[in-house]
């Protein structure tokens, strides 16, 4: 069984898809996944053992409106990649994102096109781009929505509600050292913190005897094309070796949950049930 999956350019979207790939691999032995997305998205997706190939797409330039030289180059590059794909390369082409760009990309691939329907789509008319549609509620958490979608496409049941991201959790190297590392990835605009509150957080870290390692909330940069694997590896190592992670809604929070690192995600009111990080079944406790 061969799937093509549009993952786009957002690292958090890739992480939230991994439990669905784990479920599918267990239900259909030998299943392989080809992903389409930005360089960083491909480097991150390659960490999952179901992913066999990545097709690089500069999503921003490829999906741009109007005409530009960058758009022309992005589309020509994709045309060259797709020219090497056989007509029977994929059994299913899955678009779990439901956007104009992702649905347009899915339409370029051979195979049965599968997508969402109803309020999970960016626009109702996108339904027409899919040959098989799945009316999964848009307010369902993306991790579970993706799992339900893949189960429906491949006709298997989900027995374990706790997601398995298919990543081997790593114990932090600093656990037995006097000074442990706390990773902080905070977008203060999300939680409306002022400088006084941030200073108080730093003081708490200092009193606890831990070292704070700050990571930019947008890391790893979704559109980075400069050594994307190195960018992902450095970010991954920092999160995997942390003793604790505190973050707003950003890729770092979702990676920490996927790796089972103990931590805290700071959410706006009502945000946690729909986009909050869901920890893996192998999670460690602080």
Q: pLDDT tens digits for 120-155?
A: 888 888 999 999 999 999 889 999 999 999 999 999
pLDDT at 183 over 50: yes
Which candidate, 62, 50, 111, 103, places its Cα nearest to that of 86?
111
pLDDT at 244 over 60: yes
Separation between Cα atoms, residue 109 and residue 87, nearest integer Å: 8
**Res 165: pLDDT:** 94
Ranking 64-68, 121-125, 188-192, 229-233 by mean pLDDT, the lowest is: 64-68
pLDDT at 224 over 60: no
**Res 272: pLDDT:** 84
CA 247 to chain centre: 16
Question: Read out DSSP for 190-253?
Answer: HHT--HHHHHHHHHHHHHHTEEEEE--TTPSPTT--SSHHHHHHHHHHHHHT-SEEEESSSHHH
Confidence of residue 225 (pLDDT cuts 50, 70, 90): low
Cβ atoms within 10 A of the Cβ of 68, count?
11
Ranking 137-146, 189-198, 259-268 by mean pLDDT, the lowest is: 189-198
- pTM recorded for the entire structure: 0.88
Ranking 62-66, 81-85, 224-228 by mean pLDDT, the lowest is: 224-228
Task: Compute the average pLDDT of residues 15-19.
Answer: 96
pLDDT at 174 over 60: no
**Res 193: pLDDT:** 76
Task: Give tens-digit pLDDT for 65-108.
Answer: 677 888 888 889 889 999 999 999 999 999 999 999 999 999 99
């Amino acid at each position: 069984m061969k799937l093509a999956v549009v993952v786009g350019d957002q690292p958090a979207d890739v992480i939230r898809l991994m439990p669905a790939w784990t479920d599918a691999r267990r239900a259909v032995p030998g299943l392989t996944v080809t992903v389409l997305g930005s360089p960083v998205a491909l480097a991150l997706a390659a960490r999952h053992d179901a992913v066999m190939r990545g097709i690089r797409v500069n999503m921003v330039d490829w999906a741009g409106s109007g005409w530009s030289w960058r758009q022309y180059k992005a589309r020509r590059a994709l045309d060259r990649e797709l020219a090497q794909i056989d007509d029977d390369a994929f059994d299913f082409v899955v678009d779990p994102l439901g956007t104009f760009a992702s649905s347009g990309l899915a339409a370029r691939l051979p195979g049965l096109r599968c997508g969402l329907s109803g309020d999970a789509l960016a626009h109702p008319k996108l339904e027409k781009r899919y040959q098989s549609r799945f009316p999964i509620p848009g307010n369902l958490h993306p991790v579970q929505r993706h799992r339900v979608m893949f189960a429906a496409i491949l006709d298997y049941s989900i027995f374990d509600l706790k997601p398995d991201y298919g990543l081997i959790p790593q114990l932090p190297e600093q656990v037995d050292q006097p000074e442990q590392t706390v990773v902080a990835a905070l977008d203060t605009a999300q939680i409306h913190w002022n400088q006084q509150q941030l200073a108080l957080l730093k003081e708490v870290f200092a009193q606890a005897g831990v070292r704070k390692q700050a990571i930019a909330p947008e890391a790893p940069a979704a559109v980075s094309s400069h050594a994307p694997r190195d960018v992902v590896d450095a970010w991954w190592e920092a999160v995997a070796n942390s003793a604790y992670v505190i973050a707003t809604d950003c890729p770092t929070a979702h990676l920490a949950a996927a790796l089972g690192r103990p931590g805290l995600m700071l959410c706006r009111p009502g945000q946690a049930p729909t986009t909050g990080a869901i920890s893996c079944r192998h999670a460690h406790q602080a």
